[in-house]
Structure 1
Amino acid sequence: MATALVAGLTHRGEPSDSRGPHTRQGARGGVDLLTRVTDYTARFGPGTGYRPPTRTERRTAASGLKLLLDGRPQQAEERLSSIDLSLGTVTDSATGRRYAEITDRTEAGPAPRGWGRVYVETGRPARWSVQIPHPVADRNTERLGVGVLRGGHGGVLVIAGAHRKAGRGDAADVAHRRDTVFDAFCDELAERRLPGLQLHGFADDSAPGRDVIASTGRGLVGRADGRLLADRLRERGFDVCRAWVRSCPLEGRTNVQGGKAAAEHVPFLHVEFANALRTDDRRTARAVDAMGRLTAAWERGRTA
């Protein structure tokens, strides 16, 4: 498996022209990435269970991702395997692109830990991340995340592995906890100075008349990126509340991944989408297209 990954990743994540076969199950043309992700998240619910990782497990998960992004997949596989995470590759049948995939071996067992997944496009350096902290609980945000990953190059998709109300108390609410594997992965990305786009969903009556709430969370460095995204969303017919301009609900000021990005002076956007947008395929496609304009700027190695 590591050999197949080497074909698409080189030292420090630099692009490679070689194209090895995918190593996960699926048709010869690959697997549909959206179906793969939604089949995974379809199992999530408030009662599906969650086990908080230890500090050592969080650090090991982050170091495994670091090794992968550094172009050292064999070492990454060994490191991740030590805490029962698997590293493989999938070929997305919709785009033909190959992605390294980090999964939890306990997913199919009677007591899944709920630690999540990561997808990294192979064959080019990572430039940005899209983060989904509340799949299923924030309906269809996982679909938005796959759309953003597919719409650009150099993306890393991080998906939480449980419903936000799984486990005890708020243990699985990864957007507000520092002691999760999701946060450990996102910390590694922030420390690599990769800008992040974190997607959430809100009930339509939480912000009547608004389609999107865009915020830079605790930081200021992402304001130019926020303006670019808000402008592109507005051009596509969406009403956007810009938290850097006026008071908006659900601004994400307590979001811990946003706090880390602010400390690292890395652009981070906390973006909330109305339910009516997330449940309408055409509106969703327009929103994904708008976000693609932002990730295109990030792909060029610059912020807006």
Structure 2
Amino acid sequence: MESVPPPAGQVDLRARVLGFVDGISRDTGYRAPEESERRTVASGVGLLLDGRLGSARERLAEADYRLRVLTDEADGRRYAEVADGAGEYVRGWGRVYVALDGPARWSVQVPHPIADLDTEQLGVDTLRGAPGGVLVLAGAHRRAGEDGEADVAHRRDTVFHEVTRELVARGLPGVQIHGFANKTVPGRHVVVSTGAGDHALPDARALADGLAAAGLDTCRAWRSRCVLEGRTNKQGRQAAEAEVPFLHLEFNRDVRAEEDLARRAVDELRHVVRRWARAGEESDAEAGAKTGAAA
């Protein structure tokens, strides 16, 4: 592993992410990336996940992306920030944050910032709550651009999707966060789904039980007919094809707007991603033991 360069300085990671998202609107730009551009960004993220920060920085620069190492003042953890250096609100390709406290174990994905208001808050708060996380954040309103080209949850030709492809190829389970208006699913706070597959079903059941115990009325898509089940979600289909766990979550406006409800939701999300982090550590330890025995 290449040595990690000294951090650029302490920041409030939550405020930094929310400040970026605050600059997004339906009027900010989006340019569909060329295949070579999205693959360059994703391969740069892959090098970062391999611990090759210098090589990652060089590869990302080929797509006018930059890599910074930041320290979150909340707890002293270090994160790599992958951000567009060519005008974030012009191309609208988004950002990636990678925890540098050890190997990446899981991802939290926010495909519709601003459009699904405050989902970015749930995303960054989940990232901060467990080791080994990767936050993949879209960089444009879902209705920016033309013909739905910025709606990354339903497209395969985006930087967002190419980065999640890199994560899925490494077996990282993911949770994707969405939001809905209260009237869309009356009486429900949350819709929990495993998307197109069922490899995260044990996690989904545990999460739904935890959310319900926390006082959030939860629709379980594997047991009941729920609206917004995310069956056509492209990242979910990608994960299903690779047999990698994927959770598709929809939160109503109350959960995203009310601090207490949001905290309860994030607490339960953190239980899930911490299990994923522990499972990754145990898998690595088992693989190491087998290698040692073979030697």
Aligned residue in 1 for 2:100: 122
- What is the one-letter code of the residue matched to 2:52? R
Q: Is the 8 A contact 2:77 2:101 kept in 1?
A: no
Residue of structure 2 equivalent to 1:246: 224
Partner of 1:299: 277
Q: What are the within-5 Å matches in structure 2 for residues 1-304 of structure 1? A: 6-8=2-4, 21-23=6-8, 30-107=10-87, 112-301=90-279
User: How far does residue 169 in structure 1 lie from its aligned partner after superposition?
Assistant: 2.1
Distance 2:219 2:147 in 1: 31
Whether the aligned pair in 1 keeps the contact of 2:70 and 2:78 (CA below 8 Å) is: yes
C-alpha offsets along residues 227-257 of structure 1, whole Å, 9 cap, x if unaligned? Answer: 0111111111111100011110000011000
Q: Give, in whole Å, the separation in 1 of the partners of 2:152 and 2:225.
A: 24
1:47 and 1:167 in contact (8 A); partners too: no
What letter corresponds to residue 54 of structure 1 in structure 2? Answer: E
Secondary structure of 1:118's aligned partner? strand
After superposition, give the CA deviation of every residue in 1:108-165 in whole Å (9 maximum; x if it has no partner).
6xx6200100000113010000000001110100000010001111000000011111
User: Residue type of the partner of 1:226?
Assistant: A
Separation in structure 1 between the aligned mates of residue 203 and residue 68 of structure 2, nearest angstrom: 33
Which 4+ residue blocks in structure 1 deviate beyond 6 angstroms? none
Tell me, yes or no, if the aligned pair for 1:67 and 1:76 is still in contact at 8 Å: yes
Secondary structure of residue in 1 paired with 2:199:
coil
Q: Secondary structure at the match of 1:300?
A: helix
CA contact (8 A) 2:199 2:243 kept: yes
RMSD of equivalent CA atoms: 1.4
Cα contact 2:99–2:134 (8 A) shared by 1: yes
Q: Distance in 2 between matches of 1:248 and 1:162?
A: 27
- Shift in Å, 1:204: 0.2
Q: Which amino acid aligns with 1:79?
A: R
Aligned-partner residue type, residue 52 of structure 1? A
Measure, in 1, the Cα distance between the counterparts of 2:13 and 2:56.
22
CA contact (8 A) 1:98 1:122 kept: yes
- Give the unaligned 5+ runs of structure 1: 9-19
Structure 2 SS opposite 1:301: helix
Q: What's the secondary structure of 2:144's corresponding residue?
A: coil
Residue type at the aligned position of 1:239: D
| Seq. identity, % | 53
Match of 1:13 in 2: none
Query: Does the CA-based 8 Å contact 2:111-2:151 persist in structure 1?
Result: yes
Partner of 2:91: helix, strand, or coil? coil
Count of matched residue pairs: 281
Secondary structure of residue in 1 paired with 2:183: helix
Q: Report if aligned partners of 1:45, 1:165 keep a CA contact under 8 Å in 2.
A: no
| CA distance in structure 2 between the aligned counterparts of 1:238 and 1:257, rounded to whole angstroms | 26
Tell me by how many angstroms 1:6 deviates.
Answer: 4.1
Matched to 1:260, the amino acid is Q
* Partner Cα distance (1:78, 1:228) in 2: 41
Give the AA of the match of 2:145: G
- The DSSP-based 3-state class of the residue aligned with 2:56 is helix
**Secondary structure of 1:283's aligned partner:** helix
Amino acid at match of 1:21: P
Letter in 2 for 1:81: A
Q: Relative to total residues, which structure has the larger helix share, 1 or 2?
A: 2
